[in-house]
Amino acid sequence: MQNTDRIWDIVEEQRPAFLELSDRVWGMPEIAYTEYRSVAEHRQMLEEQGFAITDGPAGIPTAVIGEAGTGGPIIAILGEYDALPGLSQEAGIAEPRPLPGNGHGHGCGHNMLGSAALLAATAVKNYLAENNLPGTVRYYGCPAEEGGAAKAFMVREGLFKDVDVAISWHPASMTRVDDARSLANTRIDFTFTGRSSHAAAAPHLGRSALDAMELMAVGVNYLREHVPSDSRIHYAILDGGGIAPNVVQSRAKVRYAVRSRDVHAMKALNERVLKVARGAAMMTETEVEIKVISAVSNLLGNAPLEQLMFANMQRLGPVEFSETDRAYARQIQATLSAEDIENDYRAVGIPLRDETPLCDFIVPIEAKGEPMIGSTDVGDVSWAVPTVQARVATHAIGSPGHSWQITAQGKSDAAHKGLTYAAKIMAATATDLFANPELIEQAKAAHRTNLGKKPYENPIPADVTPPIQPRPMIE
């Protein structure tokens, strides 16, 4: 359907530069708190488009805020641009083939996420100016969504206190309004310190930090049987203590991610994991240092905003993919299992559609699938202000999140079409809110009701600061 809404026309007029931005960011994948080149690209675009710029908000050098317009209301559009480690991949092919370099890759599509959000903010800015309308649009360039909780730190610093509504999106296999389900999540580092010794000649003199770390893993694995079914505990070994088996390891470090349905349940589970760590240290006569790295809240939904966004999706229709797009998606699906594809349908609660490599429909807003839930720092924004997110098809149905397949599709024509569609949906939702202040009041009323007796409590301890990383050498 050809849609004549002016805001969508503005998105179309602006889209080429933002598709190029997305592709450039795809080509410079940077992980949490190292996004110096990516934020520079976004900052340059903000400057070119005439936004007033705030550098390094919340003391985070890889974050940026751009603002345009005058007066209220203030609508925030949230962007991200961080990549993931270990997901380097050549674009446009259907087989795993890492690129030379640092090994990072945009396996969650955040190169598109930030670019579409900035395109939407630019379109809204131009729309307000063109129609001489009051209102302020603010673009939040947010790093470190993947485990770094930058938005939670930004909320804690009060950067959303004057915002009326926040809007975001995420690349997906299905086009729908996000159903606002996520898990609260804490990342905690456990550093065990013991005493080294000769493992053969004097093992009795050693106190093994590696033993302590392994015993903690055993204890947590037994704990998994006795946690709520929607809780999750994962870990990654950061330092195994060395490569010499004939030395009793005096130091070992492990990072745990602890997830639960809400912040209260997460904190309770954290305490149980901490007890396991202290018990492991006691058993091995080692010391353990416990350091919270980041934490995020679960998402809080907002029905009026979700209905508004869904209405815009219905008016715009689904993403219009070409046969060439579908042919490439079929090649990607050939690398997947039937379970991968069925999993995407179960997650949104609709029947499997055969011969549908790309989502050419909009998932009904009332559809609710099996919860297959991750975590996001958008959750903390959603507790601070009324928030809504879109999920927009940019890749083949069944493509697993955080996979080489997502990286491979990140510069495709289908990705570009999904990016543009997401910008139109976010921009139209924002302009509807500017034109109808009563919708904002409805969203705020729903937000107050949803908060109820559960006032927002930032999940990050007051003494924890963003784990800023130094500016890396350019490869």
Model pLDDT for residues 189-198, shown as the tens digit of each residue: 999 999 999 9
For residues 113 and 215, state if they share a domain: no
In whole angstroms, what is the distance from residue 182 CA to residue 371 CA? 9
Q: Check if the beta carbon of residue 134 is closer than 8 Å to that of residue 124.
A: no
Same-domain pairing of 321 and 416: yes
The answer to whether position 472 is within a domain reads no
Tell me the average pLDDT across 419-443: 98
Number of other CB atoms surrounding residue 303 within 10 Å: 15
Looking at the structure, tell me whether residues 288 and 305 fall in a common domain.
Answer: no
pLDDT above 70 as % of the chain: 98
Same domain for 336 and 443, yes or no, is yes
Residue 459 lies in a domain: no
pLDDT of 1 higher than 60: no
Tell me, yes or no, whether 345 and 421 share the same domain: yes
Quote the CA–CA distance of 250 and 195 in Å, as a whole number.
Answer: 5
Domain that holds residue 16: 6-181+299-451
- Is residue 454 over pLDDT 80? no
pLDDT of res. 452: 87
Q: How confident is the model at residue 300 (pLDDT cuts 50, 70, 90)?
A: very high
Contact 207, 397 (CB under 8 A): no
Token couple for 165: 């509504």
Q: Are residues 164 and 50 in the same domain?
A: yes
- Which of 295, 312, 331 is where one domain is finished? 295
Residue 474 has pLDDT above 80, yes or no: no
Q: What is the 3-state secondary structure (H, E, C) of 248-298?
A: CCCEEEEEEEEEECCHHHHHHHHHHHHHHHHHHHHHHCCEEEEEEEEEECC
The domain total for the chain is 2
The answer to whether position 469 is within a domain reads no
For residue range 29-42, list pLDDT tens digits in order.
999 999 999 999 99
Write down the pLDDT at residue 455: 81
Domain with residue 261: its CATH number is 3.30.70.360
Based on the fold, state whether residues 370 and 323 are members of the same structural domain: yes
Q: What is the CATH number of the domain that holds 403?
A: 3.40.630.10
Do 338 and 378 lie in one domain? The reply is yes
CA angle 326, 327, 332 (to 5 degrees): 90
Residue 101 has pLDDT above 90, yes or no: no
Q: Report, in angstroms and rounded to the nearest whole number, the Rg of the chain calculated over CA atoms.
A: 23
Task: Kindly give, in sequence order, each residue whose CB lies less than 8 Å from that of residue 330, ignoring residues fewer than 6 positions away.
Answer: 357, 396
Region 202-229 average pLDDT: 97
